[in-house]
Chains A and B, each alone.
Chain A
Amino acid sequence: RKEVEQDPGPFNVPEGATVAFNCTYSNSASQSFFWYRQDCRKEPKLLMSVYSSGNEDGRFTAQLNRASQYISLLIRDSKLSDSATYLCVWTNSGYALNFGKGTSLLVTP
């Protein structure tokens, strides 16, 4: 079983829609989780960290469910500029990041 699994998509949504991505992980020792965003032909950039208590940054809400071993990302009021690949990332106390394959989002006018 892969350590991190993401639905590759693509998710095609209209502007203004709400969209949610999930990412499941199998390593219960995983300690820290993040969502990174990668635009086409660009490097990944940190979108937000993910905490068990849930955290929100503007239109973006991230949640960690340790019991069910998944993390989620909710995007409200989607913008065209949200079109990108969203990478589920985890680390287990080391500095090396482990990446999921990413979920592709396309927001259309």
Chain B
Amino acid sequence: SAVISQKPSRDICQRGTSLTIQCQVDSQVTMMFWYRQQPGQSLTLIATANQGSEATYESGFVIDKFPISRPNLTFSTLTVSNMSPEDSSIYLCSVDNRGLTDTQYFGPGTRLTVL
């Protein structure tokens, strides 16, 4: 299985600011995904990060609010822009299992609190 790290692990931010979350994988992967898990809720897919092309966003999420980079096959970033308290959540990146199955491995998550 892939080993995934995320930075920062947690942060407390002021409203109106932006935070960039990094996701690093120990091996090359085709697909990387960004999810959000709001308090007491399950995971919701934000976008699929594609290497060499723009990210694909799910309904309700837009690039201006959640810009994503995917410069290579082992790294991606998610930025939460112009934050409000409603953005307080855990943000998780995940990677596909080398395309062999539909299973995914998740990073440890970034716990964001917006004041």
Binding site for B on A (CB under 8 A): 32, 34, 42-46, 49, 87, 91, 95-102
Contact of B108 among A42, A98, A99, A100 (CB under 8 A): A42
Known A-B contacts A95-B31, A95-B48, A96-B48; A34 and B41 likewise in contact (beta carbons under 8 Å): no
User: By DSSP majority rule, is chain B's interface helix, strand, loop, or mixed?
Assistant: strand
CA distance A49 to B106 in the complex (A): 16
CA distance A11 to B22 in the complex (A): 36
Binding site for A on B (CB under 8 A): 31, 33, 41-45, 48, 58, 92, 94, 96, 101-109
Contact of B103 among A46, A87, A100, A102 (CB under 8 A): A46
CA distance A102 to B108 in the complex (A): 18
CB distance from B6 to the nearest CB of A (A): 9
B102 near A45: Cβ-Cβ < 8 Å? no
CB distance from B44 to the nearest CB of A (A): 8
A97 near B42: Cβ-Cβ < 8 Å? no
CA distance A34 to B58 in the complex (A): 21
B42 near A87: Cβ-Cβ < 8 Å? yes
CB distance from A48 to the nearest CB of B (A): 10
22 contacts between A and B (CB under 8 A): A32-B101, A32-B102, A42-B109, A43-B92, A43-B107, A44-B92, A44-B106, A45-B106, A46-B103, A46-B104, A49-B101, A87-B43, A95-B31, A95-B102, A96-B58, A97-B33, A98-B45, A99-B42, A99-B43, A99-B44, A100-B42, A101-B41
B33 near A96: Cβ-Cβ < 8 Å? yes
| Chain A positions within 8 Å of B103 at CB level | 34, 46, 49
A95 near B33: Cβ-Cβ < 8 Å? yes
